[in-house]
């Protein structure tokens, strides 16, 4: 049984692209990213609905450019998120394996201590009889 530093082990295996995928995954899963996308959408659509016709660059009701950019963001982020999630899953598996080894070792130590306690009880009982 080998107890390891799972964080160190996991980080040693990561390539730069893996680190980038994990960084993107951790940033996209935040309320901050949601608010950025939400505000960008509100501003874009509002500008192109309420601005004068000369200033509109993606006219209502189609919003073709907005749809194109939104889809490009989704197309690029979906596989990147999946890679990050797979790497996070791998880290969880490494951690779970290490936890198993820690638990097995602890169980062996507890069994050893229980045996010693039983022996001490027998010794105390023997001493009390004398």
- HEC profile for 101-128? HHHHHHHHHHHHHHHHHHHHHHHHHHHH
Q: What is the residue whose two structure tokens read 């039983």?
A: 118
How far is residue 98's CA from residue 7's CA, in Å, rounded to a whole number? 11
How far apart CA 60 and CA 62 sit, in angstroms, is 5
Q: Which residues contact 83 (CB under 8 A, 6 or more apart)?
A: 18, 21, 25
Is pTM beyond 0.85 here?
A: no
* Domain residue extents for the chain: 6-102
pLDDT, one tens digit per residue, over 71-126 is 999 999 999 989 989 999 988 998 898 899 899 999 999 999 999 999 999 999 99
């Amino acid at each position: 049984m080998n107890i390891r530093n799972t964080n160190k082990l996991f980080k040693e295996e990561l390539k730069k692209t893996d680190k980038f995928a994990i960084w993107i995954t951790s940033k996209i899963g935040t309320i901050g990213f949601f608010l950025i996308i939400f505000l960008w959408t509100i501003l874009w659509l509002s500008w192109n609905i309420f601005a004068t016709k000369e200033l509109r660059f993606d006219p209502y009701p189609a919003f073709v450019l907005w749809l194109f950019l939104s889809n490009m963001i989704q197309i690029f982020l979906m596989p990147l998120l999946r890679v990050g999630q797979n790497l996070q899953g791998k880290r969880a598996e490494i951690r779970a394996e290490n936890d198993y080894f820690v638990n097995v070792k602890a169980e062996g130590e507890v069994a050893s201590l229980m045996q010693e306690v039983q022996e001490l009880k027998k010794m105390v009982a023997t001493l009390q009889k004398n």
